[in-house]
Amino acid sequence: MTKTKILAAAVLAAALAGGATACSTSGTSNAGASAGGRAAYTFWDPYPQFDESAAWTKLVEQCGQQAGVTIKRTGYDTTDLTNKALLAGQQGNSADLLLVDNPVVSTLAQAGVLTSTDDTKLDTSAIQQNILQAGVLDGKAYGVPIGANTLALYYNKNVLAQAGVDVSTIKDWKSFTDALAKVKAAGKKGITFSAIGTEEGSFQFLPWFWGSGASLKQLDSSQGVDAVSLWAGWIKNGYAPNSVINNTQTTSWQEFATGDFAFGENGTWQLDNVKKAGIDYGILAIPGANGGSAAVPTGGEFMTIPVQKDTARYATSVKIAQCLTSTTNLVTTDNTLSYVAPTKDAQAQQVSQKAELKPWVDAVAAAKGRTSDNLGTNYPKISQQMWGAVQNALSGSQSPQAAMQAAQSAAAAATK
């Protein structure tokens, strides 16, 4: 999802966002030797936008050289990468290393495609635990994150000033909605976000859902209904535009970038864009229903090591993974990808280089993996029902309560 990418599982490929395959390099065999007599190791990632000249590609090549091998890197669209990884695992021809969207880790692990860090001795001790949890299934970690991003509220200081809103008074849902009412009364627009019927919609709804105190195991709890009612009320009262129903995070951002909106829910990856838009902005943590900061979902990818017939290959794969996730390379890579690093040392370096990352580091520290609570491969089944319920409630085709009750029934049937 932009940087966070759309969650993809083979069983739900038709339901979740997909795209065409693009490759940055050719070759997928994990055996043999390359030029210069070095062994060839294969590496698949979800970055088809990076060609041979990209900094990311050069870093991957450099880490291979340091491990004494040549890396054949291939970049796929996230959905295609998941499907190909599952198929390769079934055929016993997996890549040596896979970089995958964090919710996909559970899908691949449950399918038996991935080794655990217990198997390979890949060190996770320095990783922030809440970020690592996105790659944990049944108590075992199946990789290490290269970085994370998440959501917060960008706000336009000029719009709020014209509406007489002091952002420091926003503490909970009531005070936030009161601020939106003042913005509308001043003739400005309130908030824009993405409520599209894909994983992006679920990703953006989760802070409000979790902020209500709701659990993904019970979509139709009173708290879950309250979260949907909050969004539906904003549309009904004109605090949010009807366009949010079809907004992606990109189109939602384009609305905020006009300068007409007080708030835009979006992620770390828009930092450069907000500067380009010339908006005098601030960052506000998404408030919980009764105060405090809501838990927000983590986005970002995990470096994983697939199961190989030749287990002797793992040692070199670990060296490559450790190189790519070293503090120095995390800082370089995550600045390129607009990610917050998953370790305290790397985060400190990032903030020293880019002070505006500080609120995002704090947001990531409070973030939660979508597959946490040991939901694993049940998450995409639940998420699909949740985004459908949000769509139905916001469009007015169902009441928030009816929409969430139907979603819970369908999710329960799908996760038996």
For residues 353-373, average pLDDT: 91
CA nearest to 114, candidates 146, 138, 139, 85: 85
Per-residue pLDDT band for 32 (boundaries 50, 70, 90) equals: low
Q: Is the pLDDT of residue 6 over 50?
A: no
Q: Assess contact for 189 and 252: CB atoms under 8 A.
A: no
Tokens matching residue 244: 């949010």
Domains (ranges, CATH) in the chain?
10-149+298-365 (3.40.190.10), 151-295+375-414 (3.40.190.10)
Length of the chain as a residue count: 416
pLDDT tens, residue by residue, 144-180:
999 999 999 999 999 999 999 999 999 999 999 999 9
d(CA 329, CA 161): 41
pLDDT tens, residue by residue, 181-222:
999 999 999 999 999 999 999 999 999 999 999 999 999 999
Percentage of the chain beyond pLDDT 90 is 86
pLDDT tens, residue by residue, 78-96:
889 999 999 999 999 999 9
Per-residue pLDDT band for 36 (boundaries 50, 70, 90) equals: low
d(CA 223, CA 173): 13
Q: Assess contact for 194 and 200: CB atoms under 8 A.
A: yes
Three-state secondary structure readout of 28-76 = CCCCCECHHHCEEEEEEECCCCCCCCCHHHHHHHHHHHHCCEEEEEEEC
Of the given ranges (29-43, 86-100, 379-393), which has the lowest mean pLDDT? 29-43
Q: Is the pLDDT of residue 124 over 70?
A: yes
Q: Which residue has the tokens 């859902």?
A: 209
pLDDT at position 34: 52
Q: Return the amino acid letter for 196.
A: I
For residues 107-123, average pLDDT: 96
pLDDT at position 334: 81
* Segments in 111-172 forming alpha helices (H): 117-120, 129-132, 157-163
Could you say which DSSP state residue 340 is in?
B
Q: Is the pLDDT of residue 28 over 50?
A: no
Neighbours of 139 (CB within 10 A): 8
DSSP state string for 277-314:
TT--EEEEPPBPTTSSBPP-B-B-EEEE-B--SSGGGH
Q: Is the pLDDT of residue 27 over 80?
A: no
Q: Is the pLDDT of residue 13 over 50?
A: no
CA nearest to 303, candidates 120, 144, 125, 73: 144
pLDDT at position 340: 95
Q: Assess contact for 95 and 114: CB atoms under 8 A.
A: no
Per-residue pLDDT band for 33 (boundaries 50, 70, 90) equals: low
pLDDT at position 11: 33
Structure pTM? 0.85
Regarding predicted confidence, which is higher, 281 or 18? 281
Q: Return the amino acid letter for 64.
A: G
Q: What is the mean pLDDT of the chain?
A: 90
Regarding predicted confidence, which is higher, 345 or 35? 345
pLDDT at position 21: 27
Q: Which residue has the tokens 């295609």?
A: 80
For residues 345-350, average pLDDT: 95
Per-residue pLDDT band for 7 (boundaries 50, 70, 90) equals: very low
Q: Is the pLDDT of residue 230 over 90?
A: yes
Regarding predicted confidence, which is higher, 20 or 107? 107
Q: Residue 275 burial by CB count (10 A; 0-12/13-18/19+): exposed, middle or buried?
A: exposed
Per-residue pLDDT band for 5 (boundaries 50, 70, 90) equals: very low
Query: What's the Rg (C-alpha) of the chain?
Result: 21
d(CA 168, CA 58): 44
